[in-house]
Structure 1
Amino acid sequence: MVAIAAQERLRDKVAHALRAALISGELRPGCVYSAPALAADFGISATPVREAMLDLAREGLVEPIRNRGFLITEVSERDLDQFTEIRALIEIPTVGRVARTATRQQLEALRPVAEEIVDAARAHDLIGYLEADRRFHLALLSLAGNDHLVTFVGDLRKRSRLYGLTRLDERGELLPSAEEHLELLELALAGDAAGAEACMGRHLGKVRSLWAQARDEPVEPSRRPRLGAL
Structure 2
Amino acid sequence: MAELVYPPVIGIARTMFKALDLRFDIQGSEHVPAHGGAVLVSNHIGYLDFVFAGLTARPAKRLVRFMAKESVFRHKVSGPLMRAMKHIPVDRSAGMDAYKHALSALRSGEVIGVFPEATISTSFTLKNFKSGAARLAQEAGVPLVPMALWGTQRLWTKGHKRDLGRNHIPVTIRVGEPVAADPAEPAEQVTERVRARVQDLLEAAQRAYPVRAEGPGDSWWIPAHLGGTAPAPAIARG
TM over 0.5: no
**CA radius of gyration, larger in:** 1
Q: Which has the higher strand share?
A: 2
TM-score where L is the length of structure 1: 0.29
TM-score where L is the length of structure 2: 0.28
